[in-house]
A and B are shown apart, each in its own frame.
Chain A
Amino acid sequence: MYLLRLALASLGNRRFTALLTVFAIALSVCLLLAVERVRTEARASFANTISGTDLIVGARSGSVNLLLYSVFRIGNATNNIRWDSFERFAEHRQVKWAIPISLGDSHRGYRVMGTSPSYFEHYRYARSQQLQLREGRAFSDDPFEVVLGAEVAQALGYALGEKIVLAHGVARISLLKHDDKPFTVVGILARTGTPVDRTLHISLAGMEALHIDWQNGMPARGAAQVSADQARAMDLQPRQITAFLLGLNSKIATFSLQREINEFRGEPLLAILPGVALQELWSLMGTAEKALFVVSLFVVLTGLIGMLTAILTSLNERRREMAILRSVGARPWHIASLLIVEAFTLALAGVLLGLLLLYLGIAGAQGYVQANYGLYLPLSTPSRYEWTLLGAILSAALLMGCVPAWRAYRQSLADGLSIRL
């Protein structure tokens, strides 16, 4: 115990270097834990995005691509699929429910998704949670009604009854606006922590009405224009959609139906299992994730080497201290222990300060990260894995402390009681 007192007093005497060392370790620990936490939460939030859907069906492309545009609203579909293909599989005897998805428009950077009321009924996220309306209602028969995701409403400050104009295409700045056919906000969904929060939901009829007078990807001019009221009276049965989600009566049928869809002769379709595609997506991201982790590990190592350097540099100027301690009876192993205690104390202080920085950082950035990246970072106590990491850092510090300890041991044996300057 007295050694601890001596080590702390000696460190206190060199508090400027000691504080710098602690700060370097703290920053590296904070970085490592932050990377780890973002990684874990990103993985969890990815896995939580879709639940209870047995098959996702779209035009034939890659499974990751289909997953990305249908669920994560990232990227675009290569092709649309015909409405009758959807109808055919929606009425399949194995299918319990089907949700059509039609994409391609946006509103101030947020994607617009055309769908049917079955979306609000059957779509599940996280652990089988249903979408909840925080305000208002789902869209009904009027085609020009929109239900906002929580983040869209919050970020753009929209309330119920607001009239908004959708834009053609998904670019943040779109030159082609559907300003002849404004939509009324009728509902706002509760927050889910998934891409649903960043989506505007309209009916398939609404999607159809937006484009009813478009030809060759351009809006009609003059007399060919169809007004909103005229559109309401027209037949708004969609002819094409982008993808659809299927829930089956029995999980056992998943593979046979998947094969049936993939071999469908009407048009080239692709059916994927969300879990499998998520896994595939994650293995793609895994490399970047590992690289980030390795980089932060090296940062921690750099922090510890900084500590080692600081202690080693101090050894020479502390020969007097060692000789005095030897003269009052400290044995060489006491001197060695002092240095190990010192290394451990620095690392421990670094780890604690790092944790503090992490929590301050999370508390400060939580809202921003949630709003901009849809990632919820909880202020939770460190996980077992994180404790393991911290333990490993402390062990590494102990191990590194052995280097100056050994040198001081040798030095104090050689110097003995003679005080060298």
Chain B
Amino acid sequence: MSQPLIELSNLGFAWPSQDELLDIPAFHLQRGECVFLKGPSGSGKTTLLGLLGGVQKPQRGSIQVLGQELSRLSAGARDRFRVDHTGYIFQQFNLLPFLSVRENVELPCHFSSLRAQRARQRHGSVGQAAAALLAHLGLGQPGLLQRRADELSIGQQQRVAAARALIGQPELVIADEPTSALDADAREAFLQLLFGECREAGSSLLFVSHDQSLARLFDRSLSLAELNQATRPADH
């Protein structure tokens, strides 16, 4: 088939003056795939996400995203590449509390003209794209767009964060424990919404969590502990 979205090979990374934290001989993620990556805290998952986002550079090996070798790009180009092609959802408190819901969703479009352009192509304007995404995620109530982000419930905030990750159809959505603050029912509902939107946008989803019970909902499930050959996971 086509080239994978993410391809890691022979990846090695260590924080300065520490033992090697990550040693991943091979990992790949296909386009449109939804993958569950099990990673208990301290397994190096935050570091891995940092590497995939191009915030850190590996000491050895290669990270290719969309066929682009990340370590060949300058720091600025990696930042641009990240926002152009990746949406992020974090554990909780994902939003800037002082901006409105709508402004929070539109944030990536201010830093990536590519995503702003895609949002306009599909929905006419960035604002309409934000409204449409939020409506799909069950946040279509009138007046909600203008509310301050921190006035929403945690569950609502996570859906806003999902809309932000998805605006402008990035090829990849990385979710780092986005459901850990939600209760079990809300978790699954949130995931279904996320899957639907990823499918709609044609985005792959890399979902990192320690909660094995969610793994069955995904196309594929992996464990970072198995991927990672590094002998001793450090504290990070």
Is A417 a contact partner of B98 (Cβ separation < 8 A)?
Answer: no
Distance in angstroms between the alpha carbons of A328 and B53 in the assembled complex:
11
Is B79 a contact partner of A329 (Cβ separation < 8 A)?
Answer: yes
Is B53 a contact partner of A416 (Cβ separation < 8 A)?
Answer: yes
Pick the contact of A417 from B80, B84, B88 — CB < 8 Å? B88
Is A417 a contact partner of B96 (Cβ separation < 8 A)?
Answer: no
Q: Which residues of chain B in 47-99 are interfacial with respect to chain A, using CB atoms and an 8 Å cutoff?
A: 49-50, 53, 55-56, 75-76, 79-80, 82-84, 88, 90-91, 93-99
Residues of B within 8 A of A418 (CB): 46, 50
Question: Which residue from chain A places its CB closest to the CB of B91 in the assembled complex?
Answer: A419
Distance in angstroms between the alpha carbons of A330 and B46 in the assembled complex:
19
- Asked if B111 is at the interface of the complex by the 8 Å CB criterion, the answer is yes
Q: Which of A5-13, A22-30, A39-47, A86-94 contacts B (4 or more CB under 8 A)?
A: A5-13
Distance in angstroms between the alpha carbons of A318 and B103 in the assembled complex:
18
- Asked if A37 is at the interface of the complex by the 8 Å CB criterion, the answer is no
> 1/0 contact trace for B29-57 toward A, CB 8 Å?
00000000000000000100110010110
Is B55 a contact partner of A417 (Cβ separation < 8 A)?
Answer: yes
Distance in angstroms between the alpha carbons of A419 and B53 in the assembled complex:
14
Pick the contact of A328 from B49, B55, B83 — CB < 8 Å? B83
Q: Distance (Å) between the CB of A198 and the closest chain B CB?
A: 58
Count A interface residues, CB 8 Å.
Answer: 22
Distance in angstroms between the alpha carbons of A326 and B53 in the assembled complex:
10
Pick the contact of B88 from A13, A321, A327, A334 — CB < 8 Å? A327
- Asked if B107 is at the interface of the complex by the 8 Å CB criterion, the answer is yes
Residues of A within 8 A of B91 (CB): 419
Residues of B within 8 A of A6 (CB): 96, 99
A-B interface pairs (CB < 8 A), number? 66
Distance in angstroms between the alpha carbons of A13 and B164 in the assembled complex:
21
> 1/0 contact trace for B121-147 toward A, CB 8 Å?
000000000000000000000000000
Q: Distance (Å) between the CB of B235 and the closest chain A CB?
A: 13
Residues of A within 8 A of B80 (CB): 329, 331
Pick the contact of A329 from B90, B94, B112 — CB < 8 Å? B112
Question: Which residue from chain A places its CB closest to the CB of B108 in the assembled complex?
Answer: A328
Distance in angstroms between the alpha carbons of A328 and B170 in the assembled complex:
11
- Asked if B110 is at the interface of the complex by the 8 Å CB criterion, the answer is yes
Q: Distance (Å) between the CB of A90 and the closest chain B CB?
A: 79
Q: Distance (Å) between the CB of A409 and the closest chain B CB?
A: 12
Distance in angstroms between the alpha carbons of A330 and B75 in the assembled complex:
12
Q: Identify 14 residue pairs between A and B in the complex whose beta-carbon atoms are under 8 Å apart, listed by A's number.
A: A6-B99, A320-B93, A327-B53, A327-B88, A328-B107, A328-B110, A328-B164, A329-B80, A329-B83, A331-B79, A331-B80, A332-B79, A416-B56, A419-B91
Interface residues of A, Cβ cutoff 8 Å to B: 2, 6, 9-10, 12-13, 320-321, 324-332, 334, 416-419
Apart from A321-B96, A329-B110: 5 A-B pairs, beta carbons within 8 A: A6-B96, A9-B98, A13-B98, A329-B107, A332-B79
